[in-house]
Amino acid sequence: MKKSISTYLKHPFKDKANRSANPPVMRASTILFDSLQEIKSHEKKVNAHKKVSHYSYGRYGSTTTIELENILKELEQAYHVFLTGTGFGGIALALMSLCRPGDEIVVSDNVYGPTKEISEQLLKEFNINAKFYDPENFEDLKNKVNKKTRLILVENPGSNTFEFQDLSKIVNLAKRKNILTLLDNTWGTPLYLKPLKIGFDMSFSSATKYFSGHSDAMGGSLAVNKKVFKKIMFFYKLSGYRLSADEAYLIIRGLRTLDVRLKQHYENTKIIINFLKKQKKIKQILYPYKPASKNYKLWKKYYSGATGLLSIVIKSKNKSSVKKFVNSLELFGIGYSWGGFESLVILQELKKRGEFLKERYFYKFREDEHIVRLHIGLEDPKDLIADLKKSLKYIK
């Protein structure tokens, strides 16, 4: 019987031995075998990418992490899924597995801050050069690709400023030039976009965010095709970039309700945006909600849904009043990350190149414009609107 993804997420990974609806948390370092021959036979299976219920050593994972790999493999429609202890670990795993001295990578300018740091600072120490391209200018990407380019790294939509790119154009360019591609798909999740299906070699998601959904677990997911599997597996086994069984269990728990939660995040976000777009103090809403906009058209072209993360651009010459707006919110927690059940807010102090951690080459800055990122949670949207309305009054 063929099942939809919504049904699939509710029914696999049961513990039949103990008649439990949930899988066990299997913590292990040493894995025991009946004979030396069995160890060798098992390792051959793993190296040949055969289906296994356990690994030969705990550094590679446990039965609990294998359950999560299998779930995400189905969700991503991937050849294999690698799990890491933090979300960012998945990005680091891809870069350290595939890039070598003398290579170049081309990176979207709007990527997550630490992605920019590892690309530009750490890789430089290994004689790997990173170039950054304007996410709103495909010609800029084309011009920065050359014979040394090993990888194109895209985040879609971009962190904090939410630019959407024409993904098929990027894939087609990369295939013509024999360049690998990696898409950070944390915002859309593989529920709404399957990057490998449109031709990307790798699809990354921070499992800390929507996969977990409860702000109590950290992890990363790197879904890959067959082309890059062996190289990433080689480094994965050596590096110890492993997700714990406890974190895997929590992420499995979260995935059961991923579809339900994302629908509600989106419904709440639409209601909040209808309020925000009427506020004079808000110059712009960075989210694909205007049908006439380029971002909306590119979102509709590739995604089957949207989630709850957006930014607003506030126009004010008084930065302290914007901070007061953020600090006075009661239902929006002030903190990093997102994707959990609760609403969050953070002032994103983006700066021009050379001035701050979240440096940008191609974003147009104005001193009187301030980006505030909002994650719309699962609270009653009427209460969230009342909170926003009260706090917007502080902006001067």
Residues of the chain with CATH 3.40.640.10: 5-27+62-255
What's the one-letter identity of residue 86?
T
pLDDT of residue 66: 93
Angle (CA) 287-4-16 rounded to 5° is 120
pLDDT of residue 159: 86
pLDDT of residue 357: 41
b/e per residue 365-389 (b: at least 16 CB within 10 A): eeeeebbbbbbbbbeebeebbebbe
SS3 369: strand
pLDDT of residue 356: 44
CATH topology of domain 5-27+62-255: Aspartate Aminotransferase; domain 2 (3.40.640)
Distance CA 99, CA 220 (A): 19
Locate tokens 């997700």: which residue? 243
Residues of the chain with CATH 3.90.1150.10: 258-392
- Strand ranges in 110-248 using DSSP code E only, listed in sequence order: 129-133, 149-155, 180-184, 202-206, 220-224
pLDDT of residue 17: 66
Q: Express each pLDDT in 98-128 by its tens digit.
A: 999 999 999 999 999 899 999 999 999 999 9
How do the residues of the chain divide into helix, strand and coil, expressed in percent and rounded to 5?
40, 20, 40
The segments of the chain whose pLDDT lies below 70 read: 1, 12-14, 16-18, 350-358
pLDDT of residue 351: 62
Q: Express each pLDDT in 216-253 by its tens digit.
A: 999 999 999 999 999 999 999 999 899 999 999 999 99
Tokens matching residue 286: 């960075």
Q: Whole-model pTM?
A: 0.93
pLDDT of residue 1: 63
Structural domain 258-392, CATH architecture? Alpha-Beta Complex (3.90)
